[in-house]
Amino acid sequence: MATIVASCGIYKPYSRPDVKTDGIYGAQYDSSDTTSIADLRWDEFFRDSYLQRLITQGLESNSDMQAAYLRIESAEATLKAARLAYLPSLNFAPNGGLSSFNSSSASWTYSAPISASWQIDIFGGITNAKRKAKALYAESKEYSQAVRTHLIATIASYYYTLLTLDSQREATRLTAESLTKSATTLRSMMEAGMTNRAAVAQMEAAAYDAHTTLMDIDKQIRDVENSLSALLGDTPHTIERGSLQSQEFPEAMTTGVPVRLLANRPDVRIAEYRLMQAHYATAAARSALYPTLTLNGLVGWTNNAGSIVTNPGGLLLSAAASLTAPIFNGGKLRAQLKIAKAQQEETRLAFQQSILNAGSEVNSALAEIETARAKRELRTKQIESLKSAAESTELMMQYGSTTYLEVLTAEQNLLAGKIAEIMDRYDEIHGCISLYSALGGGREEEKKE
């Protein structure tokens, strides 16, 4: 029997399928080092003290995070029930009644039995159900990790969006002040007969436009603060924060070897735990094709011994065994096994695809970081040139050697350059956040059970 059971694969434990991860990061990225930025705790990667307080609050108060914890509790209870299935079930069922036949005196009968039923796990039905419940519990924990990683990344993205808007607001404010100053200068020149009213009106219109842009940025800041407050489980309020220029991230973004994605990425691990559940569901469907052996027992006290009523009662003992094998429903059970196998294959493909998706996200984040950092030096030189052009045209206008249009163009180009520089910095930071998340960073330290 042991040989037959082993050959059927009913008790065969899950083993991870072969997964090809060679070249998943692309040939241009070195993945030979086992270290990874994902190994850093989130408070080591995000060093801004304001952001650290926000992330801590979010992990404690976010509703999605709380729901994930409840999901773990539910899966843990399911696993506990599956483990208890190995034990016999006990039931206490006292009963009694009065009966009278043909106007005879009524007789009182009673029984106070304790019954036991125990299914012997010969063909692995209970074992596979327990293993499936264990995989479900592990999946719920990984779901919690996925929510945690996503929450940390989202809070960080909102925070750095606020810092970016602050920098854009400051650049726009300086431009608005410069345009207002130029408009004042042009008005003085007009009064001195050195320019015309159209030049003054054009410069004033540009200054008004810059001030309205400031109002738009202020609204965007309030919207982001409101969204971030809701994410933190709090009422809308002003978010305390630092500056974009003071942010620091590791220069070397180490990814680690590709196989580490299997160890850190919550979505990859969720996909594997679902594959594991499908494996044991298939084994359970195969077990259903074989007989089940159940032992039943009863012990108690009764005064109803068949047709003889005794008073007081006596001890009642009973034991029985039953073997149940499918006959006419074998076709249905084989169809269910076929369905389980198809679902297992489907989850295997989903697991492999999750690996490819993870590699794609890592590649995209690395490219975003590299591109933003490569543009930094060129953008710095561009800003220096635009500043020089704006200052020169301002002086030339005052001495009548150029027109207001050149001054206006120089100011607008300088503002566009500053905004582009700010967005390059945001893209770099966003790439760092995306890479940290794509590598499965922000994991909670796992406790040994």
- The secondary structure of 212-227, three-state, reads HHHHHHHHHHHHHHHH
For 87-99, the three-class secondary structure string (H helix, E strand, C coil) is CCEEEECCEEEEE
Q: Which fold has domain 27-85+124-289+346-438?
A: Outer membrane efflux proteins (OEP) (1.20.1600)
What mean pLDDT do residues 150-162 have?
Answer: 94
Q: Quick one: pLDDT at residue 445?
A: 67
As a whole number of angstroms, the distance between CA 195 and CA 50 comes to 51
What mean pLDDT do residues 398-403 have?
Answer: 65
For residue 218, give the nearest of 238, 244, 245 by alpha carbon.
238
pLDDT, tens digit (0-9, with 9 covering 90-100), for 337-364:
999 999 999 999 999 898 888 888 888 8
What mean pLDDT do residues 320-335 have?
Answer: 80
Asked whether the predicted pLDDT for residue 206 surpasses 80, the reply is yes
CB neighbour class for 275 (10 Å; exposed up to 12, middle 13-18, buried from 19): buried
Sketch the domain layout of the chain as residue ranges. 27-85+124-289+346-438
- The structure's pTM equals 0.79
| pLDDT tier for residue 449 given thresholds of 50, 70 and 90 | very low
Q: Quick one: pLDDT at residue 333?
A: 86
What mean pLDDT do residues 116-143 have?
Answer: 84
Query: What are the strands, taking DSSP E only, across 52-154?
Result: 89-92, 95-99, 107-120
Q: Quick one: pLDDT at residue 30?
A: 53
For 319-336, the three-class secondary structure string (H helix, E strand, C coil) is EEEEEECCCCCHHHHHHH
For residue 161, give the nearest of 214, 217, 212 by alpha carbon.
217
| pLDDT tier for residue 84 given thresholds of 50, 70 and 90 | confident
Q: Quick one: pLDDT at residue 236?
A: 93
Q: Quick one: pLDDT at residue 191?
A: 80
SS3 389: helix
Q: Quick one: pLDDT at residue 448?
A: 43
pLDDT, tens digit (0-9, with 9 covering 90-100), for 95-121:
877 776 666 677 777 788 888 887 777
Q: Quick one: pLDDT at residue 410?
A: 84
Asked whether the predicted pLDDT for residue 442 surpasses 80, the reply is yes
pLDDT, tens digit (0-9, with 9 covering 90-100), for 227-263:
999 999 999 999 999 999 899 887 777 776 666 677 7
Q: Quick one: pLDDT at residue 345?
A: 93
| pLDDT tier for residue 7 given thresholds of 50, 70 and 90 | very low
Residue 124 contacts by C-beta under 8 Å, 6 or more apart in sequence? 5, 10, 11, 283, 284, 287
As a whole number of angstroms, the distance between CA 294 and CA 20 comes to 45
Looking at residue 291, the DSSP 8-state letter turns out to be -
First to last CA, the chain: 35
Residue 160 contacts by C-beta under 8 Å, 6 or more apart in sequence? 244, 247, 426, 429, 430, 433
What mean pLDDT do residues 120-145 have?
Answer: 85
Q: Quick one: pLDDT at residue 433?
A: 93
Residue 221 carries which side chain, given as an amino acid letter?
A: I
Query: What are the strands, taking DSSP E only, across 286-368?
Result: 292-305, 308-324
Q: Quick one: pLDDT at residue 10?
A: 65
Note the Cα 366 to chain centre separation in Å.
20
Backbone dihedral angles phi then psi of residue 323, each to the nearest 5 degrees: -120, 120
| pLDDT tier for residue 56 given thresholds of 50, 70 and 90 | very high
Residue 354 contacts by C-beta under 8 Å, 6 or more apart in sequence? 265, 267, 268, 271
Looking at residue 419, the DSSP 8-state letter turns out to be H
Averaged confidence pLDDT in the chain? 83
Backbone dihedral angles phi then psi of residue 189, each to the nearest 5 degrees: -65, -35
Q: Quick one: pLDDT at residue 195?
A: 74
Report in angstroms the alpha-carbon separations of 296 from 92, 160, 291, 421: 14, 66, 16, 78
As a whole number of angstroms, the distance between CA 159 and CA 42 comes to 15
Asked whether the predicted pLDDT for residue 52 surpasses 90, the reply is yes
As a whole number of angstroms, the distance between CA 382 and CA 427 comes to 18
Asked whether the predicted pLDDT for residue 427 surpasses 60, the reply is yes
Question: Which residue would you say has higher pLDDT here, 385 or 408?
Answer: 385
Q: Quick one: pLDDT at residue 88?
A: 77
Task: Note if the bond before 266 is cis, omega within 30 degrees.
Answer: no
